[in-house]
Amino acid sequence: MEISRLKRYFNELFGENLTLSGVLVSLTDISLITIRGKRDTYMFVFEITNPNDVSFYLQTVRWSIQDLLTEFEVYIGVKTQYHLLNESENPYLYFNNDAKTQIQSVLDGIKTIKFGNLPKYEIFIDSVGFKQYYDDELIQIYNQVVPVGGTKDGIDVNVRDVIEEYYDFLEQNETYYESENIYQGLDVVLNETIGNREDFVYEYRTNFIL
């Protein structure tokens, strides 16, 4: 099929400028890949721009593009691949200033970590920022905290000892204990800024600065 017709069909079906996961995605080129003995493949080249400075996760953009091309293959009957023209120029996980402020606001509101039953422990913390990590299907936020005190059954004790007890406590509990019991407020922020998809999960953890 002619390249010009393919591009016209794609633009008619999905539009010339696509908004996927908040960013602008434009089809810039299509080329034919021919390998002897194999079905012809059309390489779709897209460019990503973020004119509205929205928070985004590049992996969700890639998934959305693949979803469109899968639909296009069924509709037109061709085999496709795709390439992001300026992928290296874009951060894989990007939070704009508003999102950073909202995330930090949630973290600033968490002043204690309580755990255990008999005895009961408490760690008093001050957040000094956060670090972000990702791995395709996982987005992680690490709360960077300074421990300012610790108690055991309400009595002041060495905070380092309480932190060691906390590490032991976490090892005995499920992986997402902190996500579900301490930092669940971050879900609201990330669902609004990055999105809520079944393809990946959010995980939140504490990093003590000693």
Assign 203 to helix, strand or coil: strand
Domain co-membership, 66 together with 127? no
Q: Tens digit of pLDDT for each residue in 83-123?
A: 998 888 888 999 999 999 999 999 999 999 999 988 999 99
Average pLDDT value for residue range 36-60:
91
Domain co-membership, 102 together with 164? yes
Amino acid symbol at 118: L
Integer-rounded Cα radius of gyration of the chain: 23
**Owning domain of residue 39:** 3-93
Average pLDDT value for residue range 169-179:
90
Domain co-membership, 88 together with 129? no
Domain total for the chain? 2
Is there a cis peptide before residue 119, judged by omega within 30 degrees of 0?
A: yes
Cα of 203 vs its chain's centroid, Å: 10
What is the band of 31 on the pLDDT scale with cuts at 50, 70, 90?
very high
Measure the CA–CA gap between 29 and 78, rounded to whole angstroms: 16
| Whole-number pLDDT of residue 174 | 78
Domain co-membership, 33 together with 116? no
Average pLDDT, the chain: 93
